[in-house]
């Protein structure tokens, strides 16, 4: 039997259970910790761990160790898999996306790469404006981030800014694109979390390009979902 066919069969088998399908629905727009998923669905820790293991073994999800608090981990959909993408397109209405919003705010720690690239990418695909900010803004935008942006026809903001200067609530959708920022922000602040590795740790053009590719995919996916929600 063809290996790709086996993979598809394993994915559909794993998703043929309502609780596991509900777990996948929660992960469509962002990454969550196992504890968050369990609490969200009212599952015991052991039962949640069982269902997550089935999904992981089938290649539906991956677990990512936090770059901030190394004791934490996050669960992320394997959206790079064509079958997983197809399943998420037939999802129930995702939670966490307002029907109306007037801005998307992308946040990372330094506001020098990931959040800048995310805002610029969003502004290239959506009529809803995006901005970016940092919990601890750096003195300047990373030159390698600017180089990646130029290669993809994007214009980054002039200088990093603090989240305190642009966070205003209301119809503003907040997306934390790094673990450190997500873990530092107040639990009371509604937001989406994307666990995207910090390219500055590797300091290579390849690392920044890989970060951009993840951001580009997730931004376009989110903008499509937002448009679907806005149009009912």
Same domain assignment for residues 79 and 17: yes
Residue 95 lies in a domain: no
Same domain assignment for residues 82 and 113: no
Same domain assignment for residues 82 and 149: no
Contact between residue 173 and residue 106 where contact means Cβ atoms under 8 Å apart:
no
- Annotate 140-163 with b (16+ C-beta within 10 A) or e (fewer): ebbebbbebbeeeebebeeebbeb
Measured CA to CA, the distance from residue 62 to residue 83 in angstroms comes to: 15
Q: Residue-wise pLDDT tens for the chain (232 aa)? A: 688 888 888 898 999 999 999 999 999 999 999 999 999 999 999 999 999 999 999 999 999 999 999 999 999 999 888 888 777 765 555 676 777 788 999 999 999 999 999 999 999 999 999 999 999 999 999 999 999 999 999 999 889 999 999 998 778 999 999 999 999 999 999 999 999 999 999 889 999 999 999 999 999 989 988 887 777 6
Which stretch of DSSP H or E encloses residue 226?
helix 205-230
Q: What's the CATH code of the domain at 160?
A: 3.40.50.2300
Residue 212 lies in a domain: yes
Q: Which DSSP category does 94 fall into?
A: P
Same domain assignment for residues 75 and 36: yes
Question: The tokens 């790079």 sit on which residue?
Answer: 80
Looking at 48, 65, 89, the residue that finishes a domain is: 89
Cα angle for residues 185, 193, 208 (degrees, 5° grid)? 105
Q: Please list, in sequence order, all residues whose beta carbon lies within 8 angstroms of the beta carbon of residue 149, skipping any fewer than 6 positions away.
A: 116, 117, 120, 155, 156, 212
List the structure tokens of 116.
């800048």
Same domain assignment for residues 73 and 109: no
Looking at 56, 89, 122, the residue that finishes a domain is: 89
Q: What's the CATH code of the domain at 41?
A: 1.10.10.10
CA-CA-CA-CA torsion for 70, 74, 79, 84, nearest 10 degrees?
140
What are the E-state strand segments in the chain?
A: 61-65, 73-77, 103-108, 130-134, 172-176, 192-193
Range of the domain at 117: 103-230
Residue 97 lies in a domain: no
Same domain assignment for residues 41 and 133: no
Number of structural domains, the chain? 2
Q: What's the predicted TM-score (pTM) here? A: 0.93
Same domain assignment for residues 127 and 212: yes
Same domain assignment for residues 160 and 214: yes
């Amino acid at each position: 039997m063809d290996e790709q066919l086996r993979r598809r069969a394993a994915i559909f088998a794993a998703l043929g259970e309502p609780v596991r399908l509900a777990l996948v629905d929660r992960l469509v727009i962002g990454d969550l910790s196992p504890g968050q998923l369990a609490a969200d669905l009212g599952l015991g820790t052991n039962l949640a761990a069982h269902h997550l293991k089935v999904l992981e073994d089938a290649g539906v999800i991956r677990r990512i160790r936090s770059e901030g608090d190394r004791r934490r981990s996050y669960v992320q959909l394997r959206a790079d898999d064509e079958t997983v993408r197809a399943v998420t397109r037939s999802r129930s209405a995702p939670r966490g996306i307002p029907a109306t919003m007037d801005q998307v705010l992308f946040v990372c720690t330094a506001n020098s790469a990931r959040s800048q690239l995310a805002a610029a990418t969003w502004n290239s695909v959506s009529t809803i404006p995006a901005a970016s900010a940092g919990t601890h803004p750096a003195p300047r935008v990373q030159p390698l981030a600017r180089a990646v942006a130029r290669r993809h026809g994007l214009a980054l903001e002039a200088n990093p800014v603090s989240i305190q200067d642009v966070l205003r609530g209301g119809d503003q959708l907040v997306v934390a694109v790094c673990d450190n920022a997500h873990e530092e922000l107040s639990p009371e602040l509604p937001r989406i979390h994307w666990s995207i590795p910090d390219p500055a740790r590797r300091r290579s053009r390849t690392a920044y390009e890989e970060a951009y590719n993840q951001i580009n995919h997730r931004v376009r996916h989110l903008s499509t979902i937002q448009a679907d929600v806005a149009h009912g």
